Amino acid sequence: MNQEPSNILLIYTGGTIGMIRDYETGALKAFNFDELLANIPELRLLEHYIETVSFDEPIDSSNMKPEFYVQIGEMITEHYDEYDGFVVLHGSDTMAYSASALSFLLENLSKPVIFTGSQLPIGDLRTDAKENLITSIQLAGEKKNGKNLITEVGLYFEYKLYRANRTTKINAQHFQAFASMNYLPIAESGVDLRIHENLLHKISRRRDLLFHRELDENIIVLKLFPGFNSKIIEAALKIPDLKGIILETYGSGNAPNEDWFLNGIRKAIDKGIAVVNVTQCSGGRVDMGAYATSTELKAVGVISGKDITTEAAVAKMMYLLPKKLSTTVFKTIFETSLRGEML
C-alpha cells in the first residue's frame, strides 16, 4: 500500500518501552534512542527514514499531566512539515488519557500520530516492545496515492491499532493491555497489515493544523457506588475553582433519584459547573431517559457522554473549558463528536 519511504519522527516521553535491562545488575535504565537502529536491527527492513527526539527527563506515565500533553503537541507541531508521521512512545498506565488529549489538541490533523508502549522493556527476551514499535512506525508511514492513509491519533498495542480516544487500559499483566469496547480497531497486524479504511476518521485536507495549547484541569471524576452519599457531593462542591464533573454512573446512565443527589447535581449546574454523565461500564452508552433513574438528570441539565470513555471525557472537558462557552453551547458541543470520540 505504501508507495514511497516516509519520514517518521519517534518521540520518547518515558515508560517501560524506553527501558533496557543492565544484565550485570538486573536494573532497568533508560534506552538511548540515538542508537535505535543498532539495538533494533529489524528497523532496517523498513523503507522509512526514522529520527528520534526525547523529553529531557523521561516521565513515568503515572506522573503524566496536561502540561506534558502540550509539550508532546509542541514537538509534533514544531516538526509537522518535516515528517510524514509521528510515533509517540509513552508509558501504558495513562496512555489512553494522553492519546485522547492529543486527539483534541491537534485539530485538522492530516498525518498519523501513533501512541505505543509495552508491558516489558525493549531489551527483555520476551518483550512486546519491538513488535509494538516496528508496527507503529510502519503504520505511521502508510500512504495511499501519495497521501497519508491515517489522519488521526491512534494507539497501537498487541497487533491492533485503535482510535486513541476510544481506548481504555484493561489489563496490567497481559500484552493485550488495551481495548476499544465501542469502536472496532482501525487496523490489525497479522500475516498482513490490514487498515480498515472505512473506519478511519475523515478530515478536510484543505484546512491547516490548529494546535490548541490551553487545557483546564479544574475537573473531578466522581464514580457512583452503593453508599455514595451527600457528603461526597458537598465536599466536591467546596473545591476551589471547580469547573467540571465527570459523573461515572450505573449502566446506561442511571443514578440515585433521591432528593439529596439531584439537589447536589442541580446546585453544581447552577454554579456553572459542567456535569457530564458517562457509564462506568466497560462498553455501551449513556441513554438518559431510558429509565426513571436517569430522566431527572436529563431534566436538570446533565450532559450526556453517550458512548465516550472516561479518559476521552476528561480530555474533552479539559479541552472545551478554556473556550469560555455558554452552558448551552458547551452542552451541544460536548454531545457532538469532534474527533470520532463518540457516536
For 288-294, the CB contacts below 8 A with 24+ separation are 288/253, 290/252, 290/253, 291/251, 291/252, 291/254, 292/257, 293/254, 293/255, 293/256, 293/257, 294/249, 294/252, 294/253, 294/254, 294/255
Give backbone dihedrals phi and psi of 49, rounded to 5 degrees, phi first: -95, 125
Angle, helices 327-334 vs 310-320, to 10°: value is: 140
Burial 316-330 (b: 16+ CB within 10 A, else e): bbbbbbeeeeeeeeb
16 classed as catalytic: yes
CA distances from 284 to 97, 177, 189, 221, 278 (A): 19, 19, 26, 19, 10
Using an 8 Å Cβ cutoff, are 219 and 281 in contact?
A: no
Q: Which residues partner with 49 through β-bridges? A: 7
Catalytic residue among 16, 127, 135, 167: 16
Half-sphere exposure at residue 114, Cβ-oriented, CA atoms within 13 angstroms: 31
Give the pairing of strands 85-89 and 7-12.
parallel
CA 270 – CA 265 distance, rounded (Å): 9
CA 155 – CA 94 distance, rounded (Å): 12
- Coil, strand or helix at 168: strand
- For 51, which DSSP code? E
CA distances from 58 to 16, 29, 184 (A): 10, 11, 32
- H-only helix segments in the chain: 36-39, 66-78, 95-105, 129-140, 230-237, 259-270, 292-300, 310-320, 327-334
Q: Which residues are catalytic?
A: 16
